[in-house]
């Protein structure tokens, strides 16, 4: 009986690895589609530059954690930093989206749901801080689902 569980678990892990690979390729392919780098995104990059040069936040009410997050990419220079931030943020978002739905449906259906939602999430969620906010909310819900329930 336990051998059957090990085989099933290995099969599911293989499916998940395949799904992660497909999601990664889809995110890389999304680079070839113009996405929503607009004025709001450039404002966050400006906030990040000011933070790196002065050590001060300009506006504390405008996502200071995201401004610090952008510092991870700021050293790469203009075109590469924006592309790398998009890739990392998109991968975090789509992976979290996939894992969240994986709690409820099979990996194939979760992958399908993620791919169907990908154009909306990646191209209409500007600035990218909204994608990270969605990822954080999904992670919080997963902890809630996996953890003890309130009585």
Task: Summarize pLDDT for 23-64 with one digit per residue, the tens.
Answer: 999 888 888 877 656 777 788 888 888 888 888 888 777 788
Per-residue pLDDT at 36: 59
Mapping DSSP onto H, E and C, the string for the chain reads: CHHHHHHHHHHHHHHHHHHHHHHHHHHHHHHHCCCCCCHHHHHHHHHHHHHHHHCCCCCCCCCHHHHHHHHHHHCCCHHHHHHHHHHHHHHHHHHHHHHHHHCCCCHHHHHHHHHHHHHHHHHCCCCCHHHHHHHHHHHHHHHHHHCCCCC
pLDDT at 150 over 60: no
Per-residue pLDDT at 12: 54
Per-residue pLDDT at 96: 92
pLDDT at 69 over 70: yes
Per-residue pLDDT at 137: 93
Average pLDDT for 125-140: 86
pTM: 0.80
- Mean pLDDT for the chain overall: 81
Per-residue pLDDT at 91: 92
């Amino acid at each position: 009986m336990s051998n059957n569980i090990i085989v099933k678990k290995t099969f599911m892990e293989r499916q998940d690895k395949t799904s992660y690979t497909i999601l990664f390729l889809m995110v890389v392919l999304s680079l070839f589609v113009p996405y929503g780098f607009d004025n709001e995104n450039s404002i966050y990059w400006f906030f990040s530059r000011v933070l790196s040069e002065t050590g001060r936040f300009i506006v504390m009410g405008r996502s200071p954690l995201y401004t610090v997050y952008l510092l991870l990419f700021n050293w790469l220079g203009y075109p590469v930093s924006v592309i790398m931030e998009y890739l990392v943020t998109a991968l975090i978002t789509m992976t979290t989206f996939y894992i969240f739905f994986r709690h409820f449906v099979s990996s194939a259906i979760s992958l399908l749901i993620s791919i169907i939602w990908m154009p909306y999430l990646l191209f209409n969620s500007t600035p990218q801080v909204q994608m990270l906010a969605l990822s954080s909310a999904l992670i919080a819900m997963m902890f809630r689902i996996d953890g003890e329930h309130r009585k």
